[in-house]
Amino acid sequence: MKSKEYMDRTEQSVLHTYNRFPVVFEKGEGVYLEDVEGKRYLDFGAGIAVFALGYGNREYEEALKDQISKVIHTSNLFYNPPLMEAAEKLVKVSGLDKVFFTNSGTEAIEGAIKVARKYAYLKDGSTDHEIIAMNHSFHGRSMGALSVTGNPHYQEAFKPLIGGIRFADFNDLESVKAQVTDKTCAILLEPVQGEGGIYPASQEFMDGVRKLCDEKDILLILDEIQCGMGRTGSWFAWQQYGTKPDVMTCAKALGCGIPVGAFVLNEKTAKASLVPGDHGTTYGGNPLACAAVSRVFDLFETLDIIAHVKELTPYFEAKLDELTARYNFLAARRGRGFMQGLVVTGRPVGEIVKKALENGLIVLSAGSDVLRLVPPLVIEKADIDEMVKRLEQSF
């Protein structure tokens, strides 16, 4: 079957909520994807920061096959070994205490919102508490996650959203303080804003928000769905700031392709929030998903992924800085680790993304004017060099 037939038949049966690129991917190996016509693409998108280990990692695949041959699902009415293993490993690297596994990052945000409201409810019995989120943030598409996403464009058609949400400006501590009331139960932010345009938080902002939360017994919720799992050069981006959250959400590279997310709580929050009956999920924490998570943590350790990202980041950034200096329509580079953005001026960033795809390079956009590069964490210098070559051809 040719690409056009795949695309035409897909459009006949699948609800059109994505404007997909005209490519039908069939398989992948390493940091390359291959379409049904046999064309290979260097992948600097990683399935939107998901495939940290690249494609075709045999140990990862064998772990899934082994679990499939045992049991895929049992429900949360029972225990299963991979659940224990995955939870212990996530607790260890995060330094937090309790995990709830979800099916996606959006669901992790939903759970974090419920944690915050239950925590506040148990303090005073009130149900009118508020959450402060950031402008230009992105936390998901479900009604709760959409309510804390600071972009009116995504929200307009779906109002009324859940109430009690206030918005402040990212990296502006005074803006956050101005939104705090006696009803504030949580402050939610991404240590590195992703969809909003690859904006890292400043150290001053992170320190200030943490101090504010401590002073007023407000929960700090950090969304590490895109910037977590080694992407910025530490297990989680907040660890570089030393700003430990009360609740953390993660997903994407947590399962490296298997749909799984989690919210993770410190002991204080876990003891004073959700109890049996407050929250649940049929598929969350099932044996197959948790087997994937467990093996991902193992491979991050054996491949020394965090050290690899730290080692290559200066080279990656230098090559992007050279591009920024060479082309006058590139205004700036910003980001951390393998989560980088090039600010494009004077031309639509979508045109560059489309042209790059024609040249066998997958890159993404973020916001309205940022070229986003979030490659698999296993790239080497030669892959960065090849990316630069293909990107320049696309320019």
Residue 359, token pair as written in the block:
């040249």
> Percent of the chain scored above 90 by pLDDT?
99
pLDDT higher than threshold 90 for residue 391:
yes
Joined tokens for residue 114:
């419920």
pLDDT for 348 equals 96
Q: What is the pLDDT of residues 135-161, one digit of tens each?
A: 999 999 999 999 999 999 899 999 999
Q: CATH topology of 3-56+304-394 equal to that of 71-302?
A: no
User: Nearest to residue 107, comparing CAs of 360, 284, 363, 296?
Assistant: 284
pLDDT digit string, tens, across residues 71-125: 999 999 999 999 999 999 999 999 999 999 999 999 999 999 999 999 999 999 9
Asked if 205 contacts 171 with a C-beta cutoff of 8 angstroms, the reply is yes
- The pLDDT assigned to 115 comes to 98
Alpha-carbon separation of residue 124 from 96, 127, 183, 278, 307 (angstroms): 25, 9, 10, 18, 45
Which amino acid would we find at residue 157? A
Q: How many residues does the chain have?
A: 395
Q: What is the CATH number of domain 71-302?
A: 3.40.640.10
Q: Is-contact 322 316, C-beta < 8 A?
A: no
- DSSP string spanning 28-87? EEBTEEEETTS-EEEESSHHHHT-TT-B--HHHHHHHHHHHTT-S---TTS--HHHHHHH
Q: Quickly state the pLDDT bin for 221 (edges 50, 70, 90).
A: very high
What residue ranges do the domains of the chain occupy? 3-56+304-394, 71-302
User: Model confidence over 284-297: pLDDT tens digits?
Assistant: 999 999 999 999 99
Predicted confidence band at 1 (pLDDT cuts at 50, 70, 90)?
Answer: confident
The domain 3-56+304-394 is placed in CATH, from the list 3.50.50.60, 3.40.30.10, 3.90.1150.10, 3.40.630.30, at 3.90.1150.10
